[in-house]
Structure 1
Amino acid sequence: MKFLLMVLISAAAQVFLPWWVIAVVPFVVQLALPRVGGNAFWGSFLAIGLVWGAYGFYLHYVSNGAMSDRIARTFFLPNGWLMLVVTVLLGGLVAGFAGLSGYLVRRIFEKTPVTPEL
């Protein structure tokens, strides 16, 4: 459910807000709805990676690869497909670390019993 929530909110928010909203959405979702730390990272990574990958593929398809190939040449990459892969990985990493940060901030405020070290 959190995965779908992140996908829908981030896709809608990116229409009106700047690109860095991909860090805000997973942070808030993981802060509000707790889960295990590893799942917080990978869920956020995959949700935003899916959104950016789908939109990048759509733009690549509509322009017959012309736009992504030009951007790839700007970054000295051989083709537009590699540019799409790099974009998905970077967006996923930003979102994954933001989601993990939201999870860890929530853990700060949870009341957990302190066990003495032996």
Structure 2
Amino acid sequence: MNFLIIFIVTAILQLFAPWWTVALIPFLIMLWRPLTPLHAFVTGFLAIALLWFFYGLYLHTSTTGAMSNRIAEIFSLPNGILLLVVTTIVGGIIGGLSGLSGYFLRKTVQ
């Protein structure tokens, strides 16, 4: 359930809010509904990683790879797919660590 809440709320907020909401939402959800430290990290990681992967894949396919390949060249990456993988991992780590932070803050305050 936490996964769906993080995924849906972050997807909606990404349309209107700044990029850093991907750290705020897992933090708040795990602060509100914590389970275990591993679950907090994995849930935040997977929710944000899959969200960014699917959105990046949508952008990649809608522009036939032109935009992502150009951005990949800026970062000296061979193609846009590798950029998509790197972006997915970075987003997942941000989501996982923020979920874990929310969990530990809840345990500290209790």
Question: What range describes the TM-score normalised by the shorter chain of this pair?
Answer: over 0.9
| Structure 1 CA distance for aligned equivalents of residues 68 and 60 of structure 2 | 6
| Structure 2 CA distance for aligned equivalents of residues 90 and 70 of structure 1 | 19
Matches within 5 A, 1:45-60: 45-60=45-60
Cα root mean square deviation, aligned: 0.4
- Matching residue of 1:19: 19
What is the CA distance between 1:26 and its match in structure 2?
0.1
| Runs of 4+ deviating beyond 2 Å | none
Identity of aligned residues (%): 48
Q: How many residues align?
A: 110
| Structure 2 CA distance for aligned equivalents of residues 90 and 11 of structure 1 | 17
- Matching residue of 1:28: 28
What is the CA distance between 1:68 and its match in structure 2?
0.4
Q: Secondary structure at 1:77's aligned position in 2?
A: coil
Question: Residues 76-95 of structure 1, C-alpha deviation per residue, up to 9 Å, x if partnerless?
Answer: 00000000000000011011
Matches within 5 A, 1:87-102: 87-102=87-102
Larger Rg over CA atoms: 1
**TM-score w.r.t. structure 2 length?**
0.99
| Structure 1 CA distance for aligned equivalents of residues 20 and 85 of structure 2 | 18
- Matching residue of 1:61: 61
| Structure 1 CA distance for aligned equivalents of residues 36 and 42 of structure 2 | 10
What 5-or-longer segments of structure 1 have no aligned partner?
A: 111-118
What is the CA distance between 1:109 and its match in structure 2?
1.5
**TM-score w.r.t. structure 1 length?**
0.92
